Structure 1
């Protein structure tokens, strides 16, 4: 039930990862930064002002002009309390995706606004609120590290920012700012604070680490919510200049250990853990008093399971046969639409894929819902498609493709559905679609382009009710399908109005007039509003069963959303005139402390001239010197040295100039590379000049001798890649093709007398790879996909060099199966390789555990079996060093060179113990650290039992 814009922040971990790679070579892969591309067909334009460069697709010109009229004034407002006017920054308007988000980053310096508004958020213009929040991050960056700039120091600035400021602080400060400088903001939403409030009122007072870093077994507030309350309290207690004072002190000595906590204690007398405790105790007192004022009622809940790991049953609706249909979300399982019978038994109807907002609709034996899809090649373009499931025939169909339809609602007869359409220019309409063919039947543009959310039909199928959002607030809007006319049923409300539905000639909806989210009814005859529920923590998602006169709704509990109901005939309820608003406006004392906070809107400016943005002219954008090459996809690729990095603003081109010194062979390497990723294939070209060492076995008559050789070589490598990704329900498919070739020229041989036997040219060896990966979406607690298959085939040879013979073929496979119990996983990997000539002893497949400590044997194939399972979810904090969320274990047995005549026995087997944790109280990355105890099952092994260690990370 939270807003869908979560600011992505990048934490540069170069020094930490280089340190880790030095102490341990057993590293797994991880993806750090999103490097997806926009489709090559996008026509980019730009608007330049004194303080901003707006880069946008041509169809997003209206949004660009809107922002151009607001940004200068908003920038002055958001920077006022930090006493720092930010430098000019490029803002990219991303209208190719259907997700609602935003980010600010350095290396390169830019911000990205995802322009599509959400189907569930606060009650104001999406772009206005997004601009305030993201501009505050821009000011934070410049306040702390603004003196470190391109072309050399942006990555250093990002590292200092990420290591000095906890995520809860910079996000909490941005939420405070968005709340104070707008008529809405998340600080005004009871639904947003609800998980934190529920925990404290239920007696769950978690540690600072658990509230901040999260948990796999409990619902925690998250760093946005926690940060809002902690930073707002700082400013209420010590004045609006408190954030400025903290960041000014940190900026003066950014290398101070525990800089933030140290500065906080210097200013307040409390460190971060103590400040968390003080904030938590204050909130508990305030929310306990609010609870007494509201006098909540208790309602029956189902399913009746007691508190457990987080799970929710959303959008409940009673079917004619008495069963409840609902959207189940759980830490144990992937989301699914399920049926619950009177005995509480649950049956899965269909498992769903990713959604921008949890949603489904039922009518006449059909179920429909929207689901996220992405362009196969260009990850920056996504779609929202409509799915339909027929419960009688148990058949599924994807009704639309490459569409931007949201929150579909079935007509009572099931023959048509209504959905909200938001196109690339943010033009909003309600579209009627035929449920058999998926073709549009009618389109009704929204009046004044008001954002419409979660439509629903009345009993006759002739009217549609939806939430309307504008800068003035929220309202309820009704569409007459027969005439195509809209009418507004309410004046603009400073309320988060959600999920309106028809019932007994009235409109049921969620609002928070009494300070807590509850279900209300709008009487269409006299336009009066009455409160129907008095939930303890929050009531949501109403539906009405006329046959039993029962109102069904979601009733929030400590571990998620349960289902409750009450009898309602259309007459009972408390008029809102008799209701006191008990919402605790944590931010209000700050409104009077600064002139900037008393200005809620910005003046309009004339239309600004726009011009084409020429990507080719902006490919080179050097921004940072770095100790690594910027490739975090594999820790094995981190090569300490000095690199100069260039990345263009649209993720099209990467340039790297680098120098390394290898102390092991006392030799330098010089490197230059470019990757161009605009077109369907990705292309990369790399040049290296490096020193090499080797040993040659020289035959001289009847004698042989080993000769140590040194030389240098120039190598140019050209590669092309076509990566593809597809979604379907809860299934994900990745596939692709890679090819590469190179040219190597060797010189400077240390033993010139062997020059005539030395191969000084390697002419265009070819490398090909094709891969296919299919797996089921994982739940939060799954250690691996329950079902999955991976196949990769690689071939290398020398087709253009007659002096060198050699080829190598390899196949790698992986097969995932569900384990014996929930969240367990069985993985079987079979791998095969065959080499000849130059590649005779090359290894290109996964090897048995502990291979480097075993007797060297040529490897033809391997079979690697592992069974993994969770052990415990301790949520342990080991001081400031580590916070452990989960222990897990497993067994493995690794076979090598399986063939007829060989005994089928593992070469190594053993057990492993691993832990998922956060280090040094950083929210990201999430680390996976563990040990394997390996038994060498062969005679003559140097060690029968030994340990290997591994560390991985993920974002």
Structure 2
């Protein structure tokens, strides 16, 4: 979830991609929002409209700013869980698929609060000099002020603080959200402000969401709810150099550096008092040691004595690895875009889910199930939306969570051999099911269920489709239930740090099994009663073992929650919205068709200059920019003046990306002057140059395992005309050239990580053929080929 702010004024548009051209669109207009959505999302669009209006006042209150009506675009064809706010043009975009491991808050409620807070932040900037700049330059002015002066840690930290304050959940209440900084500070020390805010290629540095939340919440707890409203107001009114630091100093007495140091000095003292930090630690990790930050997700026993896990690190893309009893690690498979927490192991089979992008449409993707058996990787399903696979004890069936674009969810069972659907179960009304696992007798499936009351563990009886509640956690974070020999092992944060707990369903008693200082989760137990689980350190997730799990269980519940207290302070400063979505309370909003051609000629930015995005230059002149809501149509018109050569050009460019091939057109026309020397006299020749380009491009991409392929065939019509002006000399002859160009581009590239300065391995080939279209133009045919080879 993010706010997208251009970091360069030249970057007028943020274009993430397009939706399939076959979609039919509809819209709902409310007092403060215009929601545009695919037709099959109509039912949830009504609820979303209600949620947006209910959140409008509470989200705006602590910044003291009412927002103008804004369009909200819904993408429901993919499996990504995200959202962003763009400001040139001004809009918000929601990706409606709920995360497979969502915390105890409805996903759409989370999106509404977080993303609308970004809208209010930017509206708050639009005062004083910034408002004047907006009149002169359009919406790009506010985006530029935000990009230059607002640090990302504040933009995202304030939004996370708001989602926490205005709900019973939110990331500020999830212990794993702060564990990266907590472990780093207590084990490695507090990094410099520069390293903490800008990151590092050498060490793992928690992102600006985690850093920002703690700094924003600390400032609100010490200097009052209105501190950030005052800072934003000052930055907007006077966007001068160091505006954010000057405003923060004025209202808190600290610069950014001072606030960072104060925040983590206090948090370090608090974290050092955590009872778990002072308890005996876990055993030595089973995994090989590494100097780099490395994570081992979902460790499980495989073939009884071997351990398998999803491994990620700073220098390599994710892979599935095995660790033998001697500690030797081997790579079993390099998957595609794997969900790290989806790995499940059977006697001879590994299964997991991967995000599979569409070859053309960025906003359409799938989540499919893959398996590894006898060293062979196989894709079990195609173009499905299956999450969190769980292999049955006999290895013949897989339980998954299935979703639809209409925001419906099911607990489904598919065949483990061919991926075909066997049966589908509806979850209880108004709930979101997550993380299924089988009982040992295969008569039931456990799930985590989330609704308006938080989370609970439910047991689905497969014979009749009924559900029984085993454990209600409310808004305390729980996940990953596994039933083993009548007991339910699950992850929970009852003590303020995520740990492994054990539940006896018959007695209703629960106890903590692990005592990792920064969190532990995802236990796996083999036939001999030995257990392994992940535990977090400042060097990443490691694998620990329990020699005998049953001997470690003592049923007692004496945990006291130990948190930083920011969530309570933030909530006390806000008026929480009531998201009662009972059908009797929902207002029926009028739904209207939305045309794909709507807003094609609505300008969003303009200015007395001409931005040349290709050369990263800004020249004297004028420009006006158009960009429709669906991000399919882009038009720019302008005039640029070349000071060096003393001439100007009128230009226009148009792109349409709403069909399978992308279409573009560019035209540029202006006077030119050539000086001819002859004896003592120089002759000036003025003429008119006009050039145009029509192009059709098919941008296709394919991904498989460690590699991504791009195939981009295109055809272009190039036209150049040299014509006369009123001052052209008589001997000048008009001329024109028209050329067809056919181009094929293909790339096969190894996926990269943050440490890679370039593609680590791969190649690209570009072949082009040009020929003249006009007979009177005597140029010949041209065939070119270029290639690039990338080596480690």
TM superposition score category, shorter chain reference: over 0.9
The number of residues matched between the two structures is 784
Equivalent residue number for residue 181 of structure 1: 166
**Do the aligned partners of 2:54 and 2:579 also contact (CA within 8 Å) in 1?**
no
Equivalent residue number for residue 219 of structure 2: 234
What is the rounded CA distance, in whole Å, between the counterparts of 1:812 and 1:765 in structure 2? 20
Offset of residue 248 of structure 1: 1.5
What is the rounded CA distance, in whole Å, between the counterparts of 1:479 and 1:739 in structure 2? 56
SS in 2 for 1:69: helix
What is the rounded CA distance, in whole Å, between the counterparts of 1:787 and 1:224 in structure 2? 32
Worse-superposed segment, 437-446 or 456-465 = 456-465
Offset of residue 78 of structure 1: 0.8
What is the rounded CA distance, in whole Å, between the counterparts of 1:529 and 1:478 in structure 2? 17
Equivalent residue number for residue 585 of structure 1: 565
Which residue, out of 383, 387, 410, partners 2:366?
383
What is the rounded CA distance, in whole Å, between the counterparts of 2:4 and 2:155 in structure 1? 10
Equivalent residue number for residue 846 of structure 1: none
Offset of residue 322 of structure 1: 1.2
Equivalent residue number for residue 7 of structure 1: 2
| CA deviations over 1:114-133 (Å, ceiling 9, x no partner) | 11000123211011011101
The reply on whether 1:420 has 2:401 as its aligned counterpart is yes
Offset of residue 552 of structure 1: 1.2
Equivalent residue number for residue 734 of structure 1: 710
SS in 2 for 1:607: coil
What is the rounded CA distance, in whole Å, between the counterparts of 1:414 and 1:537 in structure 2? 34
What is the rounded CA distance, in whole Å, between the counterparts of 1:272 and 1:744 in structure 2? 54
In structure 2, the gaps of 5 or more residues are: none
1:469-548 maps to which residues of 2 (within 5 A)? Answer: 469-545=450-526, 547-548=527-528
Equivalent residue number for residue 739 of structure 2: 765
Equivalent residue number for residue 715 of structure 1: 691
Which residue, out of 29, 33, 46, partners 1:65?
46
Equivalent residue number for residue 155 of structure 2: 170
Which residue, out of 258, 265, 270, partners 1:281?
265
What is the rounded CA distance, in whole Å, between the counterparts of 1:95 and 1:357 in structure 2? 22
The reply on whether 1:781 has 2:781 as its aligned counterpart is no
Equivalent residue number for residue 334 of structure 1: 317
**Do the aligned partners of 1:428 and 1:449 also contact (CA within 8 Å) in 2?**
no
Equivalent residue number for residue 97 of structure 1: 78
1:925-936 maps to which residues of 2 (within 5 A)? Answer: none
Equivalent residue number for residue 328 of structure 2: 345
Offset of residue 319 of structure 1: 2.3
Which residue, out of 653, 667, 671, partners 1:691?
671
The reply on whether 1:191 has 2:167 as its aligned counterpart is no
Equivalent residue number for residue 211 of structure 1: 196
| CA deviations over 1:582-641 (Å, ceiling 9, x no partner) | 1222231233334x2486768943221111111223222210015777775x44687664
What is the rounded CA distance, in whole Å, between the counterparts of 1:432 and 1:619 in structure 2? 45
The reply on whether 1:661 has 2:661 as its aligned counterpart is no
What is the rounded CA distance, in whole Å, between the counterparts of 2:579 and 2:588 in structure 1? 22
What is the rounded CA distance, in whole Å, between the counterparts of 2:531 and 2:13 in structure 1? 46
**Do the aligned partners of 1:14 and 1:627 also contact (CA within 8 Å) in 2?**
no
Offset of residue 335 of structure 1: 0.8
**Do the aligned partners of 1:73 and 1:602 also contact (CA within 8 Å) in 2?**
no
Equivalent residue number for residue 252 of structure 2: 268
Equivalent residue number for residue 112 of structure 1: 93
| CA deviations over 1:494-533 (Å, ceiling 9, x no partner) | 1221111122211111110011110001112112111100
What is the rounded CA distance, in whole Å, between the counterparts of 2:325 and 2:30 in structure 1? 63
SS in 1 for 2:4: coil
What is the rounded CA distance, in whole Å, between the counterparts of 1:65 and 1:357 in structure 2? 33
Equivalent residue number for residue 729 of structure 2: 752
The reply on whether 1:680 has 2:665 as its aligned counterpart is no
**Do the aligned partners of 2:612 and 2:618 also contact (CA within 8 Å) in 1?**
yes
SS in 1 for 2:273: helix
What is the rounded CA distance, in whole Å, between the counterparts of 1:378 and 1:458 in structure 2? 39
What is the rounded CA distance, in whole Å, between the counterparts of 2:483 and 2:620 in structure 1? 64
What is the rounded CA distance, in whole Å, between the counterparts of 1:640 and 1:418 in structure 2? 62
What is the rounded CA distance, in whole Å, between the counterparts of 1:186 and 1:754 in structure 2? 75
The reply on whether 1:373 has 2:350 as its aligned counterpart is no
What is the rounded CA distance, in whole Å, between the counterparts of 2:491 and 2:749 in structure 1? 37
Worse-superposed segment, 682-691 or 607-616 = 682-691
**Do the aligned partners of 2:707 and 2:749 also contact (CA within 8 Å) in 1?**
yes
SS in 2 for 1:417: strand
Offset of residue 246 of structure 1: 1.1
**Do the aligned partners of 2:610 and 2:640 also contact (CA within 8 Å) in 1?**
no
SS in 2 for 1:526: coil
Change (3 A) 1:401 1:151: farther
What is the rounded CA distance, in whole Å, between the counterparts of 2:707 and 2:661 in structure 1? 24
**Do the aligned partners of 1:431 and 1:444 also contact (CA within 8 Å) in 2?**
yes
- State the TM-score, normalizing by the size of structure 1: 0.79
Offset of residue 317 of structure 1: 1.1
**Do the aligned partners of 1:354 and 1:372 also contact (CA within 8 Å) in 2?**
yes
| CA deviations over 1:531-585 (Å, ceiling 9, x no partner) | 100111110112111x221221101111110000113444643556311111222
Which residue, out of 250, 258, 277, partners 2:242?
258
Q: What CA RMSD, in Å, does the superposition of the two structures yield over aligned residues?
A: 2.5
What is the rounded CA distance, in whole Å, between the counterparts of 1:576 and 1:693 in structure 2? 90
In structure 1, the gaps of 5 or more residues are: 1-5, 18-30, 818-824, 826-955
SS in 2 for 1:688: strand
Offset of residue 691 of structure 1: 2.7
Equivalent residue number for residue 862 of structure 1: none
| CA deviations over 1:237-279 (Å, ceiling 9, x no partner) | 111111111112222211x211111111122221111110111
Which residue, out of 807, 820, 823, partners 2:781?
807
What is the rounded CA distance, in whole Å, between the counterparts of 1:367 and 1:693 in structure 2? 71
SS in 1 for 2:688: strand
Equivalent residue number for residue 143 of structure 2: 158
Worse-superposed segment, 790-799 or 151-160 = 151-160
| CA deviations over 1:162-200 (Å, ceiling 9, x no partner) | 112111112111111110100100110110000000011
The reply on whether 1:454 has 2:435 as its aligned counterpart is yes
Offset of residue 151 of structure 1: 9.7
Change (3 A) 1:200 1:411: same
Equivalent residue number for residue 295 of structure 2: 312
**Do the aligned partners of 2:750 and 2:759 also contact (CA within 8 Å) in 1?**
yes
**Do the aligned partners of 1:42 and 1:57 also contact (CA within 8 Å) in 2?**
yes
What is the rounded CA distance, in whole Å, between the counterparts of 1:651 and 1:788 in structure 2? 31
Equivalent residue number for residue 913 of structure 1: none
Offset of residue 746 of structure 1: 2.3
**Do the aligned partners of 1:115 and 1:426 also contact (CA within 8 Å) in 2?**
yes
What is the rounded CA distance, in whole Å, between the counterparts of 2:98 and 2:579 in structure 1? 21
| CA deviations over 1:904-926 (Å, ceiling 9, x no partner) | xxxxxxxxxxxxxxxxxxxxxxx
Change (3 A) 1:343 1:414: same
**Do the aligned partners of 1:629 and 1:656 also contact (CA within 8 Å) in 2?**
no
**Do the aligned partners of 1:150 and 1:624 also contact (CA within 8 Å) in 2?**
no
Which residue, out of 539, 550, 566, partners 2:546?
566
Offset of residue 481 of structure 1: 2.7
Change (3 A) 1:380 1:696: farther
Worse-superposed segment, 368-377 or 490-499 = 490-499
Change (3 A) 1:178 1:574: farther
Change (3 A) 1:548 1:707: farther
Offset of residue 693 of structure 1: 4.9
What is the rounded CA distance, in whole Å, between the counterparts of 2:140 and 2:554 in structure 1? 57
Change (3 A) 1:436 1:630: farther
Offset of residue 302 of structure 1: 2.1
Change (3 A) 1:77 1:434: same
Equivalent residue number for residue 626 of structure 2: 646
| CA deviations over 1:817-866 (Å, ceiling 9, x no partner) | 3xxxxxxx2xxxxxxxxxxxxxxxxxxxxxxxxxxxxxxxxxxxxxxxxx
**Do the aligned partners of 2:598 and 2:628 also contact (CA within 8 Å) in 1?**
no
